[in-house]
Amino acid sequence: MVAIYTRKSGDENLVGAVTSIENQKEVCRNYIGIFKEMGWKEYPVPYDDPAESGKDLERPAMQRLLEAVKGGRVQAVVVYKLDRLTRNSKDFHGLVDLFEKHEVGLVSATEQLDTKSPQGRLMTYIMAQFAQYDRELDQERAKDFHLARARKGFWCGGLPPLGYNSKDKKLTVNEEGAKLVRRIFDLYLEFRSAARVAEELNRLGFRRPSYDTKKGRHYGGQQFDEYSVTRTLQQKIYVGKIVNSRTGMEFPSQYPAIIEPEVFDQVQKLMEEHERHERTEYCTNKNGFLLKHLPRCGKCGSALVGYVRPKKNKVYRYYRCMANVEGKPVPCDFLSIPAEKLEEMVLSRLDNVSWDRTALKLSVGEAEQHSKEKIAELEAEKKDLDVNLRKTRREIENFRLNAKDCGHIEAVQKELARLETVERELAAYIPKLEARIANQKVAGYDANSAQKVFQQVNQKLKNLPVPQQVKIIRTLVKGVKVWKDRVQLDLNELSEADLKQCLVGI
């Protein structure tokens, strides 16, 4: 059985031109027909990826095709051109290895290439390199185009920021959205916490903007979280500036500003102070240990603590088992491990986890289950508080009705004041509890989305300052068990929002 795979990028015409999905299928079918007498027969299941980029293999039909290959359901794969399969040479080499492992041939219908022969494999690899070069060239041209638009003060496409509408790649002010943006900045000046701002916005019933994509999918409309509030507060377009993400250069915007520069600068200063305050927690870590309080000895269970050994103008860092230091009855034969080695093992393991869908699915599933239990606890607490609030209000009403008939006016007034204080505290706390329940309910627990964010975090992690690395590792990892030749990570229960928070400011 020979499977046909087709793909068309989202920025190309899906139905016109020679390389439309249907035309690709027709060419591949004709190619299979040539070898009909040799027993070639088209696999009945279609593998079509319309409007999908070739930059990676995260495509629905591609994933189904790989499952068919691994399951031994197809003996060959035919594509219109090799770049329909992928435009990433690393992915291409992986595909060829996978196909060879399962004895599946790869054929290009228009390029006369067949991986079943040595010459065909050589030419296939060369064509894959050219496909990647062509894609990277397209990326450079796109970046240059975006920089040129930014120089002219134009928005460079994508979803418009809150407070603006987009039409023909030009922005116009959305007055309702602009009012919400101003409210967000005002709330941050009041609360000085993005998380508190998100809670207040959700309590007031505000939601993030919603959009309908070209594919007809509805996107957005979710409750605010700390990440979305922080991103909003960092948008320089609100003060009339366009920032080119590639170069970091700023240019005057062609669009009306929403926020006064003084207010924007004040908010940025508060956010920097907040970040600086968080960094002080790690400022004593002058030797740059990334795993403080996390590792434990895999043999005896004792903590592994960082220590340094200066030698010839160089400081050597180690994590050593505290069993021997604390004088336990049974000494541990695991003495110490170089810090660089252990930290590299942990970072490498995190990178592997980001590609391990099973492990991430388990972690996200545990987080979702824990969230459901937490929601039940919070809703039970809210139910009790609602009952207490109604009871307190009835008592206040009864006291007020019977105050004139009671001879102990001073005692009544004192008790009435106490009940009114209780009522105010309950009335103020219940909306905050409702916001926590709402935040728990909207937290994303999709393994695919979480995996993509996890991968983004890992790509940037090693290049961050030590305090940020420490903070992110603590967010991701609950504990590390260490042996001489391996490590075992115990991940925290992670929602998509938890992972996105790691991306804030990096």
The answer to whether residue 185 scores a pLDDT higher than 90 is: yes
Whole-number percent of the chain with pLDDT over 90? 7
pLDDT in tens, 263-311: 999 999 988 887 766 555 545 567 788 888 899 988 888 888 888 888 8
Long-range contacts of 125-131 (CB under 8 A, 24+ apart): 125/89, 125/92, 125/93, 125/96, 127/82, 127/83, 128/82, 128/86, 128/89, 128/92, 128/93, 129/89, 131/54, 131/82, 131/83, 131/86, 131/87, 131/89, 131/92
The confidence score (pLDDT) of residue 37 equals 84
The answer to whether residue 407 scores a pLDDT higher than 80 is: no
pLDDT in tens, 146-170: 777 778 878 776 778 888 888 777 8
The confidence score (pLDDT) of residue 207 equals 86
Provide the terminal-to-terminal Cα distance of the chain, rounded to the nearest Å. 48
pLDDT in tens, 429-475: 888 788 778 766 766 566 677 677 777 777 778 778 787 788 888 88
The confidence score (pLDDT) of residue 96 equals 80
The confidence score (pLDDT) of residue 495 equals 63
The confidence score (pLDDT) of residue 501 equals 63
Determine the Cα–Cα distance for residues 125 and 136; give it in Å rounded to an integer.
17
SS3 439: helix
The confidence score (pLDDT) of residue 56 equals 81
Mean pLDDT of the chain: 80
Determine the Cα–Cα distance for residues 13 and 135; give it in Å rounded to an integer.
18
Report DSSP state, residue 303.
B
Determine the Cα–Cα distance for residues 477 and 474; give it in Å rounded to an integer.
5
The CATH class of 164-281 is alpha beta
**Backbone region of residue 192 per phi and psi (left: phi > 0; alpha: psi in -120 to 50; beta: other values):** left
Whole-number percent of the chain with pLDDT over 70? 79
Domain boundaries, the chain: 2-148, 164-281
The answer to whether residue 127 scores a pLDDT higher than 70 is: no
Q: Are 86 and 54 in contact (CB under 8 A)?
A: yes
pTM over 0.95: no
The confidence score (pLDDT) of residue 17 equals 58
The answer to whether residue 14 scores a pLDDT higher than 60 is: no
Q: Assign domain 2-148 to its CATH superfamily.
A: Resolvase, N-terminal catalytic domain (3.40.50.1390)
Determine the Cα–Cα distance for residues 351 and 402; give it in Å rounded to an integer.
69
Kindly report the length of the chain: 506
Return the closest-CA partner of residue 482 out of 298, 305, 334, 348: 298
